[in-house]
Amino acid sequence: MSDLQRSFAKVKLAGLPAEPPLPPNVTVEENQFAEEDTDELQALPEPEQDEDSSSASSASSASSTGTIRPNSKHLFARPTGLSSGSRALNPLPWTDYFTQEYYLEIVHPDETVIHHAYVKLPGPKGPLFVLHHGAGSSGLSFALFAAELLKALPNCGVVSVDARGHGKTVVKTPNGEIKGEPYDLSLDVLSSDLTNTVKLLQARLGWPELPNMVLVGHSLGGPIVTDVAWKGTLGHSVLGYAVLDVVEGSAMDALQKMNSYLATRPKTFPSVASGIDWHTRSRTLRNSTSARISVPSLLYQTPTSGTHLPGRGPWMWRTDLSVTEHYWENWFTGLSRKFLEAKGGKLLILAGTDRLDKELMIGQMQGKYQLQVFPDAGHFIQEDQPARTAMVVADFYHRNDRSALVLPPKVGEMLKPEHK
């Protein structure tokens, strides 16, 4: 710098105000540290190298761009006390999701059926949602869905049934002996069972008439609730019906591969926890909480080999789906036609649009029903995405709630003197 430049700088600096005093609550030491922090950037710590090369590469990239990354090893570390690979597999009680369970007996000439249902009763003038599970499942497959539905509609009631041969529903011979497989699982019988369960509950509770209802069926439950609505066996109380991830065309195609699928499933499990684990690892169920609720009801413990001691052997499937093969076509034949013809609002929730058959595609273009697609869900839509499913079903109820309709006055009423 030249002498002329130095002289010019001194003149300018002399004219600047003096340095302001320090704030009273800042000590000299603190101010010195503050100056150090602003004057000199501290070096970033070197990121830890992950065991695999891809993680090491990404760490190097983050360091070169000046991005601070949390230690991935600690970010995804399991809580203390859990061994690696362990996760919660203990069953969850149904009482966390329903308030009551009912055993409803009906006597037929050739058998007695004790229908079982998980229930939460509706409030005053609240709607009732009647839920029916799919083949091999149980009423607890709707547990999380029911809880979410009650959040959206606190005044509603829920009845989630166990079909015969499933869950806790029992069929007895005229002599009082419990029937085993094979059960009569024809569509007419299952449809009649659902109607009987609702009417038996009405009689048990002393309801003079049925509340407004929405029927919801998953998989096999879809044809059952559709058949009930189509036949009108529950009268005008049915506002509408919802079918979850089943249509006639794709169901009939899938039946050709059903035996192959059943052959890949384990025949037994050493424990309930291992059954829950298989359902989540195989992605049969994508919601581990729902698996902990519903899977225990799908299994029963056999006696120890060579003995009659109860509850000592492996756990087996409660419902042997392979013995129901001769009913498979009966369940789904005519489903699309009935779905479009039955009275009431219609809702179809699918895991993919590829499941639509020709009749339903035409019906959708004509606006005959409401279609919702959950591409991220598996087949068990109400278990994989219970909150989203409940939201759609609650909205469907609001759309079809007759009690909310306000009709305009008739022309004759408008012409009366008091309206002039």
Among all residues, which ones are annotated catalytic? Answer: 219, 245, 379
CA distance 282 to 286: 9
Is residue 190 a contact partner of residue 163, using CB atoms and an 8 Å limit? yes
3-state secondary structure labels for all residues of 264-324: HCCCEECCHHHHHHHHHHCCCCCCHHHHHHHHHHHEEECCCCCCCCCCCCCEEECCCHHHH
Backbone Cα Rg of the chain: 32
Alpha carbon distance 103, 118 (integer Å): 9
Q: In whole angstroms, what is the distance from residue 252 CA to residue 245 CA? A: 13
Contacts of 18 (CB under 8 A, 6+ apart): none
Measure the CA angle with vertex 23, ends 19 and 29; round to 5°: 90
Complete DSSP assignment for 21-33: PPPTT--HHHHHH
Q: Which residues pair with 128 in a beta bridge?
A: 157, 213
Query: For residues 159 and 117, is the Cβ–Cβ distance under 8 A?
Result: yes
